[in-house]
Amino acid sequence: MKTCLHCDLLPPDFPSPLCPNCKSVKGIPRLYLRRRGWNPAWEQRLLLLTFRAKQRLPLFPEGQP
């Protein structure tokens, strides 16, 4: 099940990656705008780092940049 990119709690009921609560907070939608130079591989890397941080795992295992 797909969850909100920001709060990871509420499943969005519409195609937006943010739930209605997060989308309505000023500044949150801006965090998730696609930036110049970002590509799918970079975004996947950021999602992996976010997951590792939430699990309280080391972000960069030894020997990996």
Q: What is the pLDDT of residue 11?
A: 66
Q: Which two tokens stand for residue 20?
A: 């209605």
Structure tokens at 52: 């590792």
Structure-token match 């209605």, residue found: 20
Q: What is the pTM of this model?
A: 0.52
Q: What is the pLDDT of residue 64?
A: 64
Name the residue among 35, 34, 9, 33 with its Cα closest to residue 22.
Answer: 9
Two tokens at 22? 């997060």
Average pLDDT per 10 consecutive residues for the chain, totaling 65 residues: 76 75 87 77 86 88 68
